[in-house]
Amino acid sequence: MSVLSRLALGAGVSILLSTTALAADLTVGFSQIGSESGWRAAETSVTKAEAEKRGIDLKFADAQQKQENQIKAIRGFIAQGVDAILVAPVVATGWEAVLGEAKDAKIPVILLDRGVDAPQDLYLTSIASDQVEEGRVAGRWLTETVKDKDCKVVELQGTVGSTPAINRKKGFEEAIADHKNISIVRSQTGDFTRSKGKEVMEGFIKAENGGKGICAVYAHNDDMAVGAIQAIKDAGLKPGSDILVVSIDAVPDIFAAMAAGEANATVELTPNMAGPAFDALEAYLKDGKEPEKFIITESKLYTPADNPKGEYEARKGLGY
């Protein structure tokens, strides 16, 4: 850890330094989950670009979807004495020990895009969406779209044990709870990937009379929805009309599908978690200002009424 950061972290020490000078001196470790989705690829690109813009030396570690690799990377960052650690936790549990080690080493940890089941004093702040609300937004869209019509839903869940999978399921179920005409008939993990989304959707279609019994697919991310769209087409059905498609992320490919009439709704998750994370970190190191424990990003609904072609064009070069 740099001398400046250690000083600034000392209790009650107020050092007035310009943010630029401080940022340029920072080394930050980033333990990323992997690259399971277009959204995650964009988050990685945005984080690297934000760090570069601010003169932060970013040490990047790709965990290839394994928590043990994330824990190893975090321990490595602690051993190197970085100024701060960003972590996108693949699952919610199992973090207490390693976050405690970072705390003992006086290295602030910032959680990106997913939460942990661990005491809040083990991390400085968490930058993420309200994932329960994301599920509610998707569910409300479905209730308003199908109205009184009977609707059997199949659900593609995210990674088992991850907070977005747990919370997006919860929020969607809450939103449809009072609508007895809507029910989730099948629900399985597609691990947030396109290939697994397709494979699981193929199974759902087989199990539900060649897909004829399915009214809608709710996917916890767009990549799984894109995989599901392919499975629906392969089964000779029309995604977007025979089977409605609603998902979360707002990646360029879902807007391309929307423009083609093959997807119906998505809830935006910004890939820019690093901007607010570095702002919070810089303010904290500058004058000891504790950020809010939870910094919540917006969850905006997009449908074909929102110029999907334009959204595709605007997003396609952003690292997704």
Residue 13 identity (one-letter amino acid): V
Q: CB of residue 163 vs ligand AHR: minimum separation in angstroms?
A: 7
| Residue 196 interacting with ligand AHR (CB under 6 A) | no
Q: How far is the CB of 39 from ligand AHR (least distance, A)?
A: 4
Which of 66-79 are b and which e, b meaning 16 or more Cβ less than 10 Å from the residue's Cβ? ebebbbebbeebbe
Residue in the block written with tokens 């020490």: 13
Between 36 and 83, name the residue whose CB sits nearer to ligand AHR: 36
State the minimum distance, in angstroms, from the CB of residue 80 to ligand AHR: 26
Q: Does 114 bind ligand AHR (CB under 6 A)?
A: yes
- Compute how many other C-beta atoms are within 10 angstroms of the C-beta atom of residue 260: 14
What mask of x and - would describe binding to ligand AHR in positions 197 to 236, judged by CB under 6 A? Answer: ------------------------x-x-------------
User: What are the phi and psi torsion angles at 187 (to 5°)?
Assistant: -150, 125
Strand, coil or helix: what is 90? coil
Q: By CB under 6 A, is residue 164 in contact with ligand AHR?
A: yes
Contacting ligand AHR (CB under 6 A), which of 133, 249, 262, 268?
249
Closer to ligand AHR by Cβ: residue 154 or 165: 165
β-strand partners of 59: 29
Q: Are 220 and 162 in contact (CB under 8 A)?
A: no
The residue to which tokens 């928590």 are assigned: 67
The least CB distance from residue 191 to ligand AHR, in Å, is: 9
Q: Alpha carbon of 50 to those of 73, 91, 203, 229, 290: distances in Å?
A: 21, 25, 41, 33, 21
Scan residues 33-62 and list those touching ligand AHR (CB under 6 A): 36-37, 39-40
Q: Which residues bind ligand AHR (CB under 6 A)?
A: 36-37, 39-40, 113-114, 164, 192, 221, 223, 248-249, 269
